[in-house]
Amino acid sequence: MRHISEYLELLDTIVWGPVTIVLLLGTGMYLMIRMQFLPLRNLGYALKCAIGREKNTKQEKERDISQGDISPFSSLMTELAATIGTGNIVGVATAMVLGGPGALLWMILSALIGMSTKLAESTLSVKYRICNKKGEMSGGPMYAMMYGIKSKRAGRLMGMVFALFAMFASFGMGNMTQSNSIAQAMQESFSVPPEKTGLIVTIFTILVVFGGIASISKVTRVVVPCMAVFYMLGALVVILMNAKHLPQGIEEIMRLAFAREAVAGGVGGTLVVSMQQAFKWGIARGVFTNEAGLGAAGISAAAAHTDEPVRQGYISMTGVFLDTVVICTLTGLAIAASGVLGQTDVSGELLNGAALTIAAFSTAFGEAGGRLVGVGIVLFAFATILGWEYQGEKAFEFLTGFGIEREGRNAGRLCMGYRFVYSLVTFLGAVCALETVWCFSDIMNALMAVPNLFSIWILSEEVCKDVKNYQKKYIK
Element (H, E) at 32: helix 18-34
Dihedral of CA atoms 280, 243, 223, 190 in degrees, nearest 10, equals 90
Q: What percent of the chain is helix, strand and coil (3-state, nearest 5)?
A: 80, 5, 20
Cα distances (angstroms) measured from residue 455 to each of 37, 148, 295, 394, 448? 21, 9, 10, 19, 12
Phi, psi of 344 (to 5 degrees): -115, 160
Is the pLDDT reported for residue 64 higher than 60? no
Most confident of the ranges 131-135, 402-406, 433-437: 131-135
Report the pLDDT averaged over residues 342-366: 80
What is the torsion angle, in degrees rounded to the nearest 10, for the CA atoms of residue 376, residue 378, residue 384 and residue 385? Answer: -170
- Give the number of residues written for the chain: 476
Look at residue 316 in the predicted model and tell me its pLDDT. Answer: 92
Mean pLDDT, range 15-34, rounded to an integer: 88
pLDDT band at 36 (very low <50, low <70, confident <90, very high): very high
pLDDT at 22: 85
Taking only the tens place, the pLDDT of each residue in 442-457 is: 788 888 889 999 999 9
Pairing state between β 272-273 and 262-263: antiparallel
Residue 404's pLDDT is 55
Nearest Cα neighbor of 319 from 71, 24, 74, 41 is 74
Bridge partner residues of 344 (DSSP): 350
Q: In the prediction, which pLDDT does 459 show? A: 95
Q: What pLDDT does residue 433 have?
A: 67
Q: Say how many CA atoms lie within 13 Å of 322 toward its Cβ.
A: 26
Q: Express each pLDDT in 320-346 by its tens digit.
A: 898 888 988 999 999 888 888 877 777
Amino acid at 332: G
Predicted local confidence at residue 60, as pLDDT = 47
- pLDDT at site 65: 47
- Has residue 202 got a pLDDT over 60? yes
Q: What is the pLDDT of residues 152-192, one digit of tens each?
A: 899 999 999 999 999 988 888 888 888 888 888 888 778 88
Q: What interhelical angle do 353-365 and 368-400 show, nearest 10? A: 140
**Backbone dihedral region for residue 410 (phi beyond 0: left; psi -120 to 50: alpha; all else: beta):** alpha
Q: What local confidence, expressed as pLDDT, does residue 403 receive?
A: 47
Q: Could you tell me what percent of the chain has a pLDDT over 70?
A: 88
**Do residues 27 and 293 make contact, with C-beta atoms less than 8 angstroms apart?**
yes
65 vs 455: CA distance, rounded Å: 27
CB 114, CB 323: distance < 8 Å: no
What count of other Cβ atoms lies within 10 Å of the Cβ of residue 225? 14
Give the whole-angstrom CA distance, residue 29 versus residue 123. Answer: 17
CATH number of 2-475: 1.20.1740.10
73, pLDDT greater than 80: no
- The pLDDT of residue 59: 47
> How high is the pLDDT of residue 231?
87
Q: What residues have CB less than 8 Å from 148, skipping those under 6 apart?
A: 124, 127, 128, 155, 455, 458, 459, 462
Lowest mean pLDDT across 69-83, 97-111, 117-131, 424-438: 69-83
Q: pLDDT, tens digit, for every residue of 256-303? A: 777 765 544 444 444 555 666 777 777 777 777 777 888 888 888 888
Give residue 267's pLDDT.
47
Q: Which helix (H) or strand (E) holds 130?
A: strand 130-131
The candidate with the shortest Cα–Cα distance to 201, out of 383, 374, 373, is 383
The b/e string for 262-273 (b: 16+ C-beta within 10 A; e otherwise) is bebeebbbebeb
Residue 430 has pLDDT above 50, yes or no: yes
* Contact call for residues 112 and 317 (beta carbons, < 8 A): no
- The rounded distance, in Å, linking the Cα atoms of 156 and 144 is 9
Radius of gyration (C-alpha) of the chain in whole angstroms: 21
Nearest-angstrom CA–CA distance, 283 and 277: 10
Average pLDDT over residues 94-108: 84
Q: Tell me the C-alpha distance between 142 and 316, whole Å.
A: 17
Helical axes 141-148 vs 368-400, angle rounded to 10°: 30
For the ranges 101-115, 176-190, 219-233, 252-266, the lowest mean pLDDT is seen at: 252-266
